[in-house]
């Protein structure tokens, strides 16, 4: 086997002394903990009728991006301290608030609570399947990263274009593609932790949280279209 094809810790004897299983356990634990502020934020947002986009969708989008990238910067800067964990949990609360608008729309269906439960359960099944894939596959999946990012760019362009085009078929296609792409992203990001490509559990949790969040959002949107029942 070519030396250049071996993982860094195999070639150099794991010079960083990274305990991959510990990083993975901490990632899973922090990911589970991050669901608490997300649910709290979503509940508060639904209760208060919160929406960044009610007044000006464009300004709401700019404000959302500014706050999100502010959190990203802070989490990256303090990822090796407890402050990084607190910032991550603050970000997940913020994302829960952002989720409340979609949940409010879903709850206007007579079976809205069921749709949300199905999306949550479906996201859980996707996560378990992707985690099992990441744990069992022996293949090097690092090359998937660039293709997944290309897919994300295509999703962004198509989603922005559909703001003006308002094509139902394109909306469904974007949501279906997003479920697929971010599902594979879960496997990819977990595999990076397992293989030692990501050694910080705060950073790993942030990436996987965003994957899971996007799977849930787009799965719920698809369920609302295909299984939503209007109230009488």
Q: Residue 74's domain spans which residues?
A: 3-227
Of the pLDDT bands very low, low, confident and very high (cuts 50, 70, 90), residue 62 is confident
pLDDT value at position 90? 98
> Under 8 Å CB-to-CB from 68, ≥6 apart: which residues?
91, 94
Calculate Rg over the CA atoms of the chain. Answer: 19
pLDDT value at position 58? 72
Burial of 166 (0-12, 13-18, 19+ CB in 10 A): exposed
Residue 97 belongs to some domain of the structure: yes
State the alpha helices, DSSP H only, in the chain: 8-12, 20-48, 57-77, 82-107, 112-136, 144-165, 168-195, 201-227
83 has a pLDDT exceeding 50: yes
Residue 182 belongs to some domain of the structure: yes
- Residue with more model confidence, 5 or 101: 101
> For the ranges 38-47, 157-166, 217-226, which has the lowest average pLDDT?
157-166
Residue 112 belongs to some domain of the structure: yes
Residue 56 belongs to some domain of the structure: yes
Residue 14 belongs to some domain of the structure: yes
Residue 232 belongs to some domain of the structure: no
Residue 70 belongs to some domain of the structure: yes
Domain count for the chain, please give it. 1
Residue 98 belongs to some domain of the structure: yes
Instruction: Output the pTM of the full model.
Output: 0.90
């Amino acid at each position: 086997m070519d030396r250049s094809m071996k993982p860094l810790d195999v070639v150099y004897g794991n010079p960083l002394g990274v305990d991959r299983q510990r990083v993975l356990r901490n990632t899973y634990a922090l990911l589970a903990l991050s669901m608490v502020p997300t649910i709290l934020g979503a509940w508060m947002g639904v209760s208060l009728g919160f929406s960044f986009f009610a007044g000006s969708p464009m300004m709401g989008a700019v404000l959302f991006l500014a706050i999100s990238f502010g959190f990203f910067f802070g989490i990256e800067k303090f990822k090796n301290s407890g402050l990084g964990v607190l910032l991550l949990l603050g970000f997940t609360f913020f994302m829960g608030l952002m989720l409340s608008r979609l949940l409010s729309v879903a709850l206007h269906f007579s079976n809205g609570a069921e749709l949300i439960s199905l999306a949550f359960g479906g996201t859980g099944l996707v996560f378990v399947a992707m985690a099992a894939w990441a744990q069992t596959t022996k293949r090097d999946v690092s090359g998937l990263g660039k293709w997944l990012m290309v897919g994300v760019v295509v999703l962004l362009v198509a989603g922005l274009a559909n703001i003006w085009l308002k094509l139902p078929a394109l909306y469904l296609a974007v949501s279906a593609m997003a479920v697929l792409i971010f599902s594979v992203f879960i496997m990819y990001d977990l595999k990076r932790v397992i293989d030692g490509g990501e050694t910080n559990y705060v950073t790993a949790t942030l990436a996987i949280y965003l994957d899971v969040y996007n799977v849930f959002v787009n799965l719920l949107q698809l369920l609302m279209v295909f299984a939503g029942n209007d109230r009488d």
